[in-house]
């Protein structure tokens, strides 16, 4: 979505769309799920846990990091990846708020 077109929407929709976009690939969901399951930060190669190349995993990690959903800090030649818990909570709230607005149980169809 171009910046000009984005300005036609309210800030809440723009903010949510950016967060939701970060979730728009199964690899990114798998990365978040993996980091949540191990309940710790991982230093090393997350590509070992996914059926994707290191390059592809790196691109997905960058998207998640850019969205603020994970943190990656460089330690020597490795990067230490963790969930960014406060941002995950923002994502949870934004998702809940958005879904409450479009509650299909109130649909007339």
Is 106 among the domain residues?
no
Would residue 58 count as lying in a domain?
yes
Give how many domains the chain has, as a whole number.
1
Q: Look up the CATH number of the domain holding residue 25.
A: 1.10.10.10
DSSP letter, residue 48: G
> Domain range holding 66?
10-99
What is the pTM assigned to this prediction? 0.82
> Is the C-alpha dihedral spanning 38, 43, 44, 46 positive or negative?
positive
Residue 46 located in a structural domain: yes
**Short-list 95, 82, 81, 87, CA closest to 20:** 95
Write out the chain's pLDDT in tens, 109 residues: 555 666 789 898 999 999 999 999 999 999 999 999 988 888 777 888 889 888 899 899 999 999 999 998 888 888 889 999 999 999 999 999 998 888 767 666 6
Domain membership of residue 75 (yes or no) is yes
Residue 2 lies in a domain: no
Is residue 80, in this structure, part of any structural domain at all?
A: yes
In a domain, 4, yes or no: no
């Amino acid at each position: 979505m171009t910046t000009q077109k984005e300005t036609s929407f309210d800030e809440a929709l723009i903010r949510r769309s950016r967060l939701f976009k970060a979730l728009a690939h199964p690899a990114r969901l798998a990365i978040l799920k993996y980091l949540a399951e191990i309940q710790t930060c991982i230093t090393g190669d997350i590509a070992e846990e996914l059926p994707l190349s290191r390059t592809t995993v790196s691109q997905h990690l960058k998207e998640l990091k850019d969205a603020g959903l994970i943190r990656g800090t460089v330690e020597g030649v490795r990067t230490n990846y963790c969930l960014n818990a406060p941002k995950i909570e923002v994502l949870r709230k934004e998702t809940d708020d958005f879904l409450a607005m479009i509650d299909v149980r109130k649909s007339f169809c």
